[in-house]
């Protein structure tokens, strides 16, 4: 099915002006009728308010909330875009703002390219677009888009300003970078399509951005006006390519970038967002787009540097925009828009038609039958087990092994004390090192990048005796002007260690970091993990020791050695246990929560001071938790790497597992007696004890037998077993122990 969709896009792209289809919300006759019925009751002033989408922030103080509410109520504002805050606060504010939006509920939007966590705390952080591209998996990108849409629906969000379909063909791009699906136009089109389709299949409007393409810039439009010096033909063959495909497939909206492109509009300092040549002539007429056209934020320096507030909005409407995003001054803007209508610079009938499109979208989103956001169980509904399992799969398919000499990864035949981990620019025993230590007795070190040069000789001395050293680079950046967070000292220590040990280098950063570390080619193996959060660290450590195979491919070209699509062969066979979320094996977390409660109850009743529970199925560990302390006094917590006396687990590791296996195969009945199965017990006083009673410690056995007393005479060790002087048959002198 996916291949069919993609083939359709390719064919349609050949003749987009003929075959381009309207977005779904524009096709509904019922939506058009509903929109007309609303428009017929509104004054022109009320219609104008619908063109504005204003900034909201659930972390604002009350005075700012009240200020926005007053504008929403007075000017019949059409929509809000939420930024920093939390889901419950945002839900409460959404309900509040919608209550005071008396005419028609507002469109709620978010700039959530990698999900809600791009803006909100207490939500699941999904991979950035470039990380998703490394998966090379259409179905997973679609599944990601579906989950983002589900979470948007749950939080009352109607528009997600994604996907970014800029082709990041300039590694020095300071603003797009990892927000892009890559530097290849087909790759960007392919995954942008899957993401947009997933959103709109689930009633969240997608927005293709940043038209006509923000990838080949070295200036950030938040702070200045980037210049793109490309010909029309060059733009048409590259930057416009993914936009054509998504328009042809029915994407609902397009966001216009603040760019200066002389080949499209040579008017001095006129951003593409304010250019009729770009918005009307190119996007609407040539590319035949009739969905919603949205400006990029109108508070960005790319436009405010050259036009005053209010005039910016007039220029954007003249250019052909439908929605004015984040206007700084609504009253001034409306005043100047009315003046422009009187001067026949703008046409009121044309503006009313744009408002009709906005209302038709509101009908498609269900705002004709508005329901408030339900607050109960909001956090739980946003952070589901299924979403967690999906997120695990996304990162698992992205991590990329870019070089692997002598099949170094996965690390095999690990001897005690032969492996060390050096973390650069992160804390000791971070998630990465903790997971490494689940597989081997790894010696762990850490050093800040500021101190690396001064401590290098000492570190080299300590690590030179290890057979394998795993060096990981952390807390990098996406900013090329900051060298992506890579320092000369990092490069230097890789060179030096590579000469002394089997060096595995892991970069928890984007592909472009490889170009700043020429020494990485000298290492035995190198891995790009793209992001530096819990899951990439958790997964990469497992890949190194063979807990799971490596699947990713480089999404962009870093240099001549590390090109797009690079991936090194490794042993794809899982050679050690994999640690997974419970949902990955179709097990509900609530079942394990019952286990937690039983253990905590036992600890509270002082049946034991603490324990560790570790459960695996089909070579996947899905439950590994520690509880309480090792002993009552002192109160020392149980740790994952604690070692237990084997006598304490013999019954479980031996008999219980054997009985469980026989029971699963139907070869044993727990209600039967010992004498029924073991003939040697048929004449003993144990013959009538049932197996389930023995296994649950309810058979009435004596709790323990003091065998040591048989070796005592009058309370002292018998000379028969403990001679005073050493003999050939008794090599060790006994030590009196008072019991």
Residues 6+ apart with CB under 8 A from 94: 80, 82, 108, 155, 156, 372, 373
C-alpha 551/C-alpha 537 separation (Å) is: 16
pLDDT score of 504: 98
**Contact (Cβ atoms closer than 8 angstroms) between residue 54 and residue 326:** yes
Question: Is residue 11 over pLDDT 80?
Answer: no
Question: Is residue 655 over pLDDT 90?
Answer: no
C-alpha 474/C-alpha 485 separation (Å) is: 9
C-alpha 539/C-alpha 127 separation (Å) is: 13
> Per mean pLDDT, which range of 13-22, 27-36, 401-410, 489-498 is the poorest?
13-22
N-term to C-term CA, the chain: 75
C-alpha 516/C-alpha 483 separation (Å) is: 7
Query: Which tens digits make up the pLDDT trace of 239-278?
Result: 999 999 999 999 999 999 999 999 999 999 999 999 999 9
Give the pLDDT mean for 280-285. 98
The two structure tokens encoding residue 595: 């286990």
The two structure tokens encoding residue 38: 């609303």
C-alpha 95/C-alpha 39 separation (Å) is: 24
pLDDT score of 641: 82
DSSP 628-666: EBSSSSS-PBP-TT----GGGTHIIIIIIHHHHHHHHTT
C-alpha 628/C-alpha 630 separation (Å) is: 7
Name the residue with tokens 């490794």: 570
Question: Domains of the chain, with CATH numbers?
Answer: 2-12+48-382 (3.20.20.300), 399-579 (3.40.50.1700), 644-704 (no CATH), 706-739 (no CATH)
Q: Which backbone phi and psi does 737 adopt, to 5 degrees?
A: -120, 125
Whether the pTM exceeds 0.85: the reply is yes
DSSP 502-570: EEEEEE-S-GGGGGG-GGGGGSSEEEE----SHHHHHHHHHHHTTSS------SS--SSSS-TT-----
Query: Which tens digits make up the pLDDT trace of 461-480?
Result: 999 999 999 999 999 999 99
Give the pLDDT mean for 44-54. 97
Nearest alpha-carbon partner for 58 in 87, 78, 34: 87
Nearest alpha-carbon partner for 181 in 166, 200, 170: 166
Question: Is residue 187 over pLDDT 60?
Answer: yes
- The DSSP letter of residue 297 is P
**Contact (Cβ atoms closer than 8 angstroms) between residue 51 and residue 75:** no
pLDDT score of 609: 93
Percent of residues in the chain assigned helix, strand, coil, to nearest 5: 45, 15, 45
pLDDT score of 415: 86
Higher pLDDT, 331 or 15: 331
Work out the widest C-alpha separation in the chain, in whole angstroms.
119
Nearest alpha-carbon partner for 94 in 25, 158, 47: 158
CA 165 vs CA 82, 227, 238, 243, 583: distances in Å: 22, 18, 11, 7, 32
- The DSSP letter of residue 105 is P
> Per mean pLDDT, which range of 121-135, 334-348, 649-663 is the poorest?
649-663
Give the pLDDT mean for 216-242. 94
Question: Is residue 642 over pLDDT 50?
Answer: yes
pLDDT score of 486: 98
pLDDT score of 644: 74
Question: Is residue 12 over pLDDT 80?
Answer: no
Q: How confident is the model at residue 218 (pLDDT cuts 50, 70, 90)?
A: confident
The two structure tokens encoding residue 609: 């001071």
pLDDT score of 8: 47
Sign of the dihedral through C-alpha 691, 692, 696, 702? negative
Query: Which tens digits make up the pLDDT trace of 575-606?
Result: 999 999 888 888 877 788 899 999 999 999 99
Task: Report the mean per-residue pLDDT for the chain.
Answer: 92
**Contact (Cβ atoms closer than 8 angstroms) between residue 272 and residue 260:** yes
Helix (H, G, I), strand (E, B) or coil at 108: strand
pLDDT score of 726: 58
The two structure tokens encoding residue 454: 């001064």
pLDDT score of 271: 97
Give the pLDDT mean for 419-447. 97
pLDDT-above-70 percentage for the chain: 94
Q: How confident is the model at residue 648 (pLDDT cuts 50, 70, 90)?
A: low
**Contact (Cβ atoms closer than 8 angstroms) between residue 554 and residue 567:** yes
Question: Is residue 3 over pLDDT 60?
Answer: no
pLDDT score of 9: 52
pLDDT score of 735: 46
Helix (H, G, I), strand (E, B) or coil at 451: coil
């Amino acid at each position: 099915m996916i291949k069919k969709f993609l083939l359709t896009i390719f064919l349609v792209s050949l003749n987009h002006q003929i075959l381009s289809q309207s977005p779904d919300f524009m096709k509904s006759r019922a939506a058009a009728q509903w929109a007309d019925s609303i428009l017929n009751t509104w004054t022109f002033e009320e219609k104008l308010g619908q063109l504005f989408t204003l900034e909201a922030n659930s972390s604002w103080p009350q005075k700012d909330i009240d200020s926005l509410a007053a504008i929403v109520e007075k000017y019949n504002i059409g929509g809000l875009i939420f930024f920093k805050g939390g889901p419950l606060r945002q839900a409460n504010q959404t309900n509040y703002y919608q209550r005071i939006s008396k005419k028609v509920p507002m469109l709620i939007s978010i700039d959530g390219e990698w999900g809600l966590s791009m803006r909100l705390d207490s939500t699941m952080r999904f991979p950035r677009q470039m990380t998703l591209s490394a998966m090379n998996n259409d179905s997973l990108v679609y599944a990601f888009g579906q989950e983002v849409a589900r979470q948007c629906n749950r939080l009352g969000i109607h528009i997600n300003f994604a996907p970014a379909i800029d082709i990041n063909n300039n590694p020095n791009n300071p603003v797009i970078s990892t927000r892009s699906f890559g530097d290849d136009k087909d790759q960007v089109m392919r995954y942008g399509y899957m993401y947009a389709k997933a959103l709109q299949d689930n009633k969240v409007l997608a927005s293709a951005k940043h038209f006509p393409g923000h990838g080949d810039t070295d200036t950030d439009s938040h702070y200045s006006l980037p210049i793109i010096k490309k010909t029309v033909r060059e733009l048409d063959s590259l930057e416009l390519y993914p936009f054509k495909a998504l328009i042809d497939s029915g994407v609902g909206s397009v966001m216009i970038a603040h760019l200066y492109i002389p080949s499209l509009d040579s008017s001095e300092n006129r951003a593409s967002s304010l250019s009729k040549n770009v918005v009307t002539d190119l996007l609407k007429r040539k590319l035949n787009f009739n969905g919603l056209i949205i400006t990029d934020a109108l508070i960005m320096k790319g436009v405010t540097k050259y036009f005053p507030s209010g005039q910016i909005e007039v220029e954007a409407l003249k250019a052909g925009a439908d929605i004015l995003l984040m206007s700084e001054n609504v009253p001034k803007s409306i005043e100047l828009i009315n003046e422009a209508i009187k001067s026949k610079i703008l046409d009121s009938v044309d503006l009313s038609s744009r408002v009709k499109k906005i209302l038709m979208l509101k009908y498609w989103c269900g705002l004709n039958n508005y329901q408030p956001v339900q607050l109960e169980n909001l956090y739980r509904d946003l952070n589901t087990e299924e979403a967690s399992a999906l997120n695990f799969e996304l990162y698992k398919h992205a991590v990329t092994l870019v070089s692997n000499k002598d099949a170094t990864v996965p690390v095999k035949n690990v001897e005690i004390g032969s492996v060390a981990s050096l973390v650069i620019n992160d804390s000791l025993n971070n998630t990465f090192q903790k997971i490494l230590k689940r597989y081997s007795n790894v010696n762990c070190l850490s050093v800040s990048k500021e101190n690396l040069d001064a401590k290098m000789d000492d570190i080299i001395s300590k690590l030179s005796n290890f057979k394998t050293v795993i060096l990981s680079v952390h807390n990098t950046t996406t900013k090329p002007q900051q060298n992506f967070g890579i320092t000369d000292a990092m490069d230097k220590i890789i060179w030096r260690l590579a000469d002394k040990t089997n060096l595995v280098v892991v970069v928890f950063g984007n592909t472009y970091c490889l170009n700043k570390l020429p020494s990485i080619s000298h290492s035995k193996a190198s891995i790009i993990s793209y992001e530096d959060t819990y899951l990439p660290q958790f997964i990469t450590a497992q890949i190194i020791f063979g807990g799971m195979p490596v699947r990713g491919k480089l999404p962009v070209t870093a240099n001549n050695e590390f090109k797009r699509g690079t991936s090194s062969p490794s042993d794809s066979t899982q050679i050690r246990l994999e640690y997974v979320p419970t949902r990955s094996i179709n097990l509900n977390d609530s079942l394990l929560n019952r286990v937690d409660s039983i253990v905590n109850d036992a600890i509270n009743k002082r049946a034991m001071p603490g324990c560790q529970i570790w459960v695996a199925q089909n070579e996947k560990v899905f439950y590994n938790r520690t509880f309480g302390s090792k002993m009552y006094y002192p109160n020392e917590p149980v740790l994952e790497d604690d070692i237990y006396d084997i006598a304490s687990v013999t019954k479980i590791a031996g008999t219980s597992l054997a009985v469980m296996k026989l029971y699963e195969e139907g070869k044993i009945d727990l209600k039967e007696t010992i004498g029924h199965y073991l003939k040697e017990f048929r004449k003993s006083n144990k013959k009538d004890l049932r197996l389930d009673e023995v296994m649950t410690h309810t058979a009435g056995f004596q709790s323990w037998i003091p065998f040591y007393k048989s070796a005592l005479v009058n309370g002292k060790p018998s000379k028969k077993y403990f001679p005073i002087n050493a003999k050939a048959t008794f090599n060790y002198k006994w030590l009196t122990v008072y019991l």
